[in-house]
């Protein structure tokens, strides 16, 4: 084979190899996008802006038991983070949770509503900000139960740790939103 034919064959082989790598990268990206529902969206250390950087936030309406101290602590925490909290004391929280589509495995002690999303339990303010910024097609966020090291359950100023915030849809299916 002549030098010219070898050079042409080598260039063609190189182009085919480059095209194959690009095609493989595109396919890998598509597969990753299809499976992204199964992966956590974010880690706690990559959360949204600080309270000092907050934009104009919509009001959050919170439904809580009249005797729940940690619910009140969570409301105070949100206010310090720049949210305007409208508080409603309810003796029957099950009815509001049912009305808003919060399944029993997602439940906590209080339920909030902000800009069309349900916020169930001790969800950190940065997660709520990110939810409002990104606008995923979900029913809301939840910190099921009463996680010990979550806002409203921990000493003021302590960082959340040791639990997950989940996003959930209307059927009650969940996905990790943030790991703490």
| C-alpha pair distances (Å), 44 with each of 40, 171, 179 | 11, 26, 6
pLDDT number for residue 11: 57
Q: How far apart are the C-alpha atoms of 13 and 17, rounded to whole Å? A: 6
pLDDT number for residue 101: 95
Sign, Cα dihedral of 62, 67, 68, 69:
positive
pLDDT number for residue 22: 42
For the chain, residues with pLDDT lower than 70 are 1-55
pLDDT number for residue 46: 44
- Convert 120-175 into a string of H (helix), E (strand) and C (coil): EECCCHHHHHHHHHHCCCCCEEEECCCCCCCCCCCCCCCCCCCCEEEEECCCCCEE
pLDDT number for residue 112: 98
pLDDT number for residue 116: 97
Q: How far apart are the C-alpha atoms of 130 and 105, rounded to whole Å? A: 23
Homologous superfamily of 46-179 in CATH?
A: Glutaredoxin (3.40.30.10)
Q: Where are the domains of the chain?
A: 3-38, 46-179
pLDDT number for residue 176: 98
**Helix or strand (DSSP H, E) at 140:** strand 140-143
pLDDT number for residue 6: 55
pLDDT number for residue 98: 95
Q: What angle do CA 168, 145, 102 make, to 5 degrees?
A: 35
Who contacts 62 (Cβ-Cβ below 8 Å, separation ≥6)? 71, 74, 75, 85, 86, 87, 88, 110, 111, 112
Predicted confidence (pLDDT) per residue in 79-131, tens digit? 999 999 999 999 999 999 999 999 999 999 999 999 999 999 999 999 999 99
The residue count of the chain comes to 180
Q: Quick check: helix, strand or coil at residue 85?
A: strand
Angle, helices 69-80/125-134, rounded to nearest 10 degrees: 60
Looking at residue 110, the DSSP 8-state letter turns out to be: -
Q: Quick check: helix, strand or coil at residue 88?
A: strand
pLDDT number for residue 5: 56
């Amino acid at each position: 084979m002549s030098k010219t034919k070898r050079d042409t064959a080598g260039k063609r082989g190189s182009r085919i190899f480059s095209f194959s790598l690009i095609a493989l990268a595109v396919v890998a990206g598509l597969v990753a996008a299809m499976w992204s529902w199964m992966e956590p969206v974010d880690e706690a250390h990559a959360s949204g802006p600080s309270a000092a950087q907050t934009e104009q936030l919509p009001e959050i309406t919170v439904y809580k038991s009249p005797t729940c101290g940690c619910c009140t602590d969570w409301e105070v925490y949100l206010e310090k983070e720049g949210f305007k909290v409208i508080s409603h004391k309810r003796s029957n929280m099950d009815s509001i949770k049912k009305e808003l589509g919060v399944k029993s495995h997602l439940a906590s002690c209080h339920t909030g509503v902000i800009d069309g999303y349900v916020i169930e339990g001790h969800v950190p303010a940065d997660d709520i900000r990110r939810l409002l910024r990104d606008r995923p097609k979900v029913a809301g966020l939840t910190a099921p139960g009463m996680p010990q090291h979550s806002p409203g359950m921990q000493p003021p100023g302590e960082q959340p740790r040791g639990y997950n915030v989940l996003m959930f849809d209307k059927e009650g299916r969940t996905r990790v939103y943030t790991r703490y």
